[in-house]
Amino acid sequence: MGYQRQEPVIPPQRDLDGRETLVSEHEYKEKTCQSAALFNVVNSIIGSGIIDFSLVLLIKGGALSGTDTYQSLVNKTFGFPGYLLLSVLQFLYPFIAMISYNIIAGDTLSKVFQRIPGVDPENVFIGRHFIIGLSTVTFTLPLSLYRNIAKLGKVSLISTGLTTLILGIVMARAISLGPHIPKTEDAWVFAKPNAIQAVGVMSFAFICHHNSFLVYSSLEEPTVAKWSRLIHMSIVISVFICIFFATCGYLTFTGFTQGDLFENYCRNDDLVTFGRFCYGVTVILTYPMECFVTREVIANVFFGGNLSSVFHIVVTVMVITVATLVSLLIDCLGIVLELNGVLCATPLIFIIPSACYLKLSEEPRTHSDKIMSCVMLPIGAVVMVFGFVMAITNPQDCTHGQEMFYCFPDNFSLTNTSESHVQQTTQLSTLNISIFQ
């Protein structure tokens, strides 16, 4: 945890193997309760969908190998080559997620500030570049400088609460706005040919494997059974929110649904403007959890797992600076989510945990965990390969900053818009996943 050892003054705790171990009072106080850990997990996967069986499988692999990080698990299972590959993936996924969060915050909050009476929409101080820089210096950098992820429990609770408010707004607009939006052709056809691209985006959204061990280690007396209960609670909350977001968003806009759902709403909608504000704050509060992971990977690879106070600050500032600079140059969210999903998230979710468990476990082949592992591994490989090919050959167009045709009632009829005009003024999108992170 990065703290100096003190004389033990509290009851013994237990490690992954159930052995008793002594921890200092200072370390003990830094441990978060289960409820705080719950909100950390939910915040990592909220609006990201379902955290599946592989999360429990990952911690089981750690217990079998006697390791307490994703990297050490892979290193013990597949040696240095596996460790190096996992380190690259585990760094790239949260790093690209940080870029995505900056893009979302800049796009979303700029529209909020444009609605302030008397503010010039062209004012540089409400532009996406200035907002990204300001939110980085004011919020994401200070929060990311914490050394213990347990301290983000309250931040994650706030983020979860704001997400609930956003859900209410999306549901309200599904009722009031949905009937006035023309439905696209074949709007209710399930699993079109480009559905595998949506799987890639969902893989990006679903993952919290990269910070699972961080949250797991923050529990008091961490055990596989306790982790399993925690994950099941997190899944219930996340599935409920994810289903309602996806359903209400698609029912409202059908084939017009954008990669960022808030891009579908008109800028003069004050209720949605409040939702955009909540959304922007949510992604800002989620950002530090990803930074924790990138910093841990760097610490493990280059510093033996421990960063001094000076290097802790230097590494954090460098990672956030690079992510911010990249996010200032990119404003198309869809392709970022797709590539990060198929190239980084898919192997982290489906392939690596399954492969580790299959190699470590001595259970019979008919054991349910081994059967599920044998199913997940090839599915992950297929999604990774075909998702990458389709993302490159059939990329989603960027509609960043464009008002949808139905936002101009003086020029277009909301109920009599022709199909040809609809097709010319919008692009179809696979799924409205990015509302959450």
Tens digits of residue pLDDT in 31-67: 445 555 555 545 444 433 334 777 788 888 888 998 8
Radius of gyration of the chain (CA): 22
Packing angle, helices 70-114 and 128-135, rounded to 10 = 130
Measured CA to CA in angstroms, residue 382 lies from 48, 50, 90, 201, 378 at distances of 21, 19, 20, 14, 6
Give the DSSP H or E segment for 13: strand 13-14
CB 219 within 8 A of CB 13: no
C-alpha–C-alpha distance, residues 55 and 226, integer Å: 13
Task: Tell me the pLDDT band of 148, cut-offs 50, 70 and 90.
Answer: confident
Token match 């529990």: residue? 219
Arithmetic mean of pLDDT over the chain: 77
Amino acid (one-letter) located at 338: E
Task: Give the H/E segment covering residue 307.
Answer: none
CB 320 within 8 A of CB 144: yes
* 219 bridge partner residues: 32
Give the C-alpha separation, 229 to 234, whole Å: 9
DSSP classification of residue 429: -
pLDDT at residue 398, as a whole number: 61
- Is the model's pLDDT at 190 over the cut of 90? no
Nearest partner of 95 among 222, 204, 214, judged by Cα: 204
For residue 200, the model assigns a pLDDT of: 59
User: Could you give all domains of the chain from N- to C-terminal order, each with its CATH number?
Assistant: 1-30 (no CATH), 31-425 (1.20.1740)
- Put residue 221 in one of left, alpha, beta given phi > 0 → left and psi -120 to 50 → alpha: left
Q: Report the 10 Å Cβ neighbour count for 391.
A: 23
- Residue 118 is classified by DSSP as T
Residue with structure tokens 């709007």?
A: 187
pLDDT tens-digit series, residues 270-326: 999 999 999 999 999 989 988 998 998 899 889 887 889 999 999 999 999 999 999
- Tokens coding 19: 């052995």
Contact call for residues 377 and 349 (beta carbons, < 8 A): no
Mean pLDDT along residues 166-183:
91
Quickly state the pLDDT bin for 166 (edges 50, 70, 90).
very high
CB of 31 closer than 8 Å to CB of 150:
yes
Task: Using a pLDDT cut of 90, give the percent of the chain over it.
Answer: 26
Q: Look-up: residue for tokens 């464009």? A: 402
Q: Kindly give the residue spans of alpha helices, DSSP state H, lying in 309-367.
A: 309-329, 333-340, 346, 352-360
